[in-house]
Structures are given as structure tokens and as C-alpha cells.
Amino acid sequence: MANVRKIDNSPAGGRHHYLVDANFLLNKHLPHGLAPTPHEQARIKACADWWSKIDKHVRGKRARVYCPDVCIAEAFKGLARKHYREKWFRTYADFAAARESLSADVRVPTKTLKAFDRIIPLHDISTNRDIIISVDRFFELFFKHGKNVQIADMILVATAKYLMDFYDIPKDRSTSSPWTTNSVRRSEWPSICHPLMIRLGRDIGPQSSSPHEGQGFVP
């Protein structure tokens, strides 16, 4: 039986921190019934379960969600691909509704930004010099072990390190990423976790496989 990770409702230190990738962000806005295979339908449902809990914690000021600007762009690209190439959406109106939902998730009205007691559902992180330097170092690490990784994945991991280094997000444990088994040893990997998202700071349960592979992750 697969191990299960759960989100703590009362995190030590008062707040969870999440760094989400393009797929996890996009799946939040896709109706699972449009997916052509049971595996993809299950993945979208799992993402919806995660997001339901995460959004509840954000509204309760018990979590913050971050996403690299590159991943936001990739999410819009993935949505367009599913409509124009993979033909997921039956009508253009269905596609437009999903696109508006995604767009609304990453936009923040000026009124909200000016509010004293504001709640920001998604914080975008620009790809700056520090992140680029980390990408170079991570590529060196992966190439050393003969592994190939997409640049978007490296930006995601480098952004996690950036958040811990410059936002003072606690780094009080060392856990695994989905690449650990096939890419590098745990001892050589930074202290982050990336199921469909990277959760920074405290651990969220026993080691498990990635939900990308349909394993048992529940909110």
C-alpha cells in the first residue's frame, strides 16, 4: 500500500508554503470529464482535491502559494495545446471559460492589492539572477550524473531554493523529490519536496511517490 501524504491543518509556525508547477496550476482549471483517459481524469481529480484544501488554507491565512512566471506562461500554453491540438474542449466557449478561470487565478485586482487585510491566492515569482545562477548549478549536478532535465523543472527547483534563501522560509528537514530515485542521491539534493508541487519548510508526512504516477496523495 502506498504511503499517503496529508496537509497539516495546523502547521507549526502557522503557515504552509507551496511552489506549484504549470501542470498543477493548469489542472485546477480543467474539468476532469474532458480528459481522454482514466489516468488523466484521476490526476485532475487529485489536483482538485489538493487545491480545495490549499485554497481553504490560503483564505484562512495558513498558507501561501507561489508560482514561477515561466510556469504561469507554460500553464497557458498547455491550455491552448489541449484545445487546438489535443481537442479536449467540445466548443470554443468551453475553452474560453477555462482560460478565463486560469487568468482570474493569476490576476490580482488593484483594490485587493491596496487592501490592508488582503489575501493573495497566488504569488508570481520572477526569474531573476539568483534563480538563473541556481539553475546553472543544478544543471551541473544533473549532468554530472548523466541525467537530462527540462529547463522549466530546473527553474522550479531553483525558485524553491531562492524562496528558502531570500524569503526565510524554514528549511528544517530534508526530503525527496520525484527525481531522487532516478537522478541523484537524496544527500545531494536540496531540502525540498515536489509532488505535483513543491512544499517548502516542514514535512507533510512519510515519504511517498509522486501523484504524477497516480499514487496515494490526499489533502
Spatial distance between the Cα atoms of 30 and 44, rounded to a whole number of angstroms: 7
Residue 89 · residue 34 · CB < 8 Å: yes
Per the structure, the count of domains in the chain is: 1
Residue 202: other Cβ atoms inside 10 A = 18
Helix (H) or strand (E) holding 199: strand 197-200
162 found inside a domain: yes
Kindly state whether residue 45 falls inside one of the protein's structural domains: yes
Q: Provide the domain limits for residue 189.
A: 18-209
CA distances for 101 relative to 95, 137, 184, angstroms: 10, 36, 37
pLDDT of residue 209: 33
Q: What local confidence, expressed as pLDDT, does residue 184 receive?
A: 35
Alpha-carbon dihedral sign for residues 192, 198, 201, 207? negative
For the segment 12-62, what is each residue's pLDDT rounded down to a tens digit?
Answer: 667 888 899 999 999 999 999 999 999 999 999 999 998 999 999 999 988
Question: What number of other Cβ atoms are within 10 A of residue 114's Cβ?
Answer: 8
Domain-embedded: residue 22: yes
Q: Which pTM does this prediction carry? A: 0.75
- Contacts with 54 (C-beta within 8 Å, 6 or more apart), sequence order: 7, 16, 18, 63, 65, 219
Q: How wide is the angle at C-alpha 211 spanned by C-alphas 94 and 155, nearest 5°?
A: 80
- Answer whether residue 7 is part of any domain: no
What are the pLDDT digits (tens) for 169-204? 776 422 223 333 233 333 333 333 343 334 443 333
Domain holding 189: CATH number?
3.40.50.1010
- pLDDT above 70 for 114: yes
Which element (helix H / strand E) includes 32?
Answer: none
Residue 179 in any domain: the answer is yes
Is 214 part of any domain? Answer: no
